[in-house]
Amino acid sequence: MTLNLKIWRQGGKYPKGQFVNYTLDGVNDHMSFLEMLDVLNEKLINEKEEPIAFEHDCREGICGTCSLVINGYPHGPMQQTTACQLHMRHFHDGQTITIEPWRSRAFPIVKDLVVNRDAFDRIIQAGGYISVDTGQAQDGNAIPIEKDQAGHAFDAATCIGCGACVAACPNASAMLFVGAKVSHLSQMPQGKVESDTRVQRMVAQHDAEGFGRCSNITACQAECPKAISVEHIARLNRQYIGATLGSEKVAN
């Protein structure tokens, strides 16, 4: 099939950033979306043009690196599918496809479709962990955790840190990402001890990074490739209120 691609380019020849149109033929059903971009880049390189910068690594939906807005949808139109898992059989001959980077103040554009997501690392550094040093652990079976509860914690822990939730949110809020980590750790007995300080510190960092407020639009859940539920934001909110109102200890 032949495709009309409308791709956001920024940096190099396009200092201010703009859409550039490309026509690509010879695309087949079995290619993945990123392989289609590989083919385009190979073509550009052969013409001594600069290839389009986009990020990717595992190409199987787990590392959270790929980050394309395709026809307006973060990770493209398929539900629960990262851009790297999307295949060309879901597109048709002659179709126009628009490809853009995540857009958010807290994710500055590096080049073309590549953004900087260091803010997510800093949020985790603010408190997204359990304070245990290597060698301090007791036996793994010392604290039984009910199967379903472990499962719920897992549902939150499965977040791949891609940032699609931010890209989907009109407020560019990262509350789904923060909620997922808060919810994962506070549902494990080991993580309860620090849960009050954790939630305060992570939310403070979230705000300091320039992410927006959550106003319950839930677009994040719809676009999240791992189907992280907004229930985790609700759990975060309950915990945040409890921690700030009920507790004397306010994190610094």
Partner 1 sequence: MPFQSNVPAGELSEKWKQYRSSMPLVAPNNKRRLEVIIVGTGLAGGAAAATFGELGYKVKVFTFHDSPRRAHSIAAQGGINAAKNYQNDGDSVYRLFYDTIKGGDYRSREANVHRLAEVSVNIIDQAVAQGVPFARDYGGLLANRSFGGVQVSRTFYARGQTGQQLLLGAYQSLSRQISLGNVELFNRHEMIDLVMQDGKARGIIARNLLTGKTERHAAHAVVLGTGGYGNVFYLSTNAMNSNGSAAWRAVKQGAYMANPCFTQIHPTCIPVSGEYQSKLTLMSESLRNDGRVWVPKNQEDAAAIREGRKTGLDIAEGDRDYYLERRYPAFGNLVPRDVASRAAKTACDEGLGVSPTGLAVYLDFDAAIERYGKSRAHSLNESNADKGRIRQLGVAVIEEKYGNLFEMYEKITGEDPYVMPMKIYPAVHYTMGGLWVDYNLQTNIPGLFAIGEANFSDHGANRLGASALMQGLADGYFVLPYTIGTFLSQEIRNPMVDPDGPAFMEAEAKSKARIEKIMSINGTKSAETFHRELGKIMWEYCGMARNAEGLQKGRRLIRELRKEFWSSVYVPGRVDEYNPELEKALRVADFMELGELMMLDALDRNESCGGHFREEYQSEDGEALRRDDEYAYVSAWEWDDTDPILHKEELIFENVELKTRSYK
Please check whether residue 33 is in contact with residue 70, taking contact to mean a CB–CB distance below 8 angstroms.
Answer: yes
Total number of residues shown for the chain: 252
Backbone angles phi, psi at 9, to 5 degrees: -120, 135
Please check whether residue 77 is in contact with residue 222, taking contact to mean a CB–CB distance below 8 angstroms.
Answer: no
The residue type of 63 is C
Q: Please, which residue, 6 or 59, has the CB nearer to partner 1? A: 59
Per CB under 6 A, the list member of 8, 102, 107, 177 interacting with ligand SF4 is 177
Q: Which residues within the stretch 186-225 sit at the binding site for ligand SF4 (CB under 6 A)? A: 224-225
Binding to ligand FES by CB under 6 A, coded x per residue (else -) over 52-81, reads ----xxxx-xxxxxx---------------
Structure tokens of 127? Answer: 């408190």
Which residue blocks in the chain are alpha helix, DSSP H?
Answer: 33-46, 118-127, 147-157, 164-168, 175-186, 189-192, 195-208, 219-223, 231-241
Per CB under 6 A, the list member of 51, 161, 194, 217 interacting with ligand SF4 is 161
How do strand 73-74 and strand 96-100 relate by DSSP bridges? unpaired
Per CB under 6 A, the list member of 3, 115, 119, 159 interacting with ligand SF4 is 159
Structure tokens of 120? Answer: 């997510």
Q: Which residues within the stretch 221-240 sit at the binding site for ligand SF4 (CB under 6 A)? A: 224-226, 228
126 binds, among ligand FES, ligand SF4, partner 1, none (CB under 5 to 8 A by kind): partner 1
Shortest distance, position 64 Cβ to ligand SF4, whole Å:
6
129 binds, among partner 1, ligand FES, ligand SF4, none (CB under 5 to 8 A by kind): partner 1
Q: Kindly indicate which of the ranges 37-45, 53-61, 98-106, 155-163 contains the residues binding ligand SF4, using the contact rule CB under 6 A.
A: 155-163
Structure tokens of 1? Answer: 């099939």
82 binds, among partner 1, ligand SF4, ligand FES, none (CB under 5 to 8 A by kind): ligand FES
Q: Which residues within the stretch 88-147 sit at the binding site for ligand FES (CB under 6 A)? A: none
For the CA atoms of 57, 60, 65, 71, the dihedral, rounded to the nearest 10 degrees, stands at 120
Q: Please, which residue, 37 or 66, has the CB nearer to ligand FES? A: 66
Please check whether residue 156 is in contact with residue 187, taking contact to mean a CB–CB distance below 8 angstroms.
Answer: yes
Q: Kindly indicate which of the ranges 50-58, 89-97, 122-130, 195-203 contains the residues binding ligand FES, using the contact rule CB under 6 A.
A: 50-58
66 binds, among ligand SF4, partner 1, ligand FES, none (CB under 5 to 8 A by kind): ligand FES
Number of other residues whose CB lies within 10 A of the CB of residue 230: 21
Distance CA 3, CA 23 (A): 6
Per CB under 6 A, the list member of 10, 82, 186, 239 interacting with ligand FES is 82
Q: Where on the chain is the footprint of ligand FES (CB under 6 A)?
A: 56-59, 61-66, 82, 84
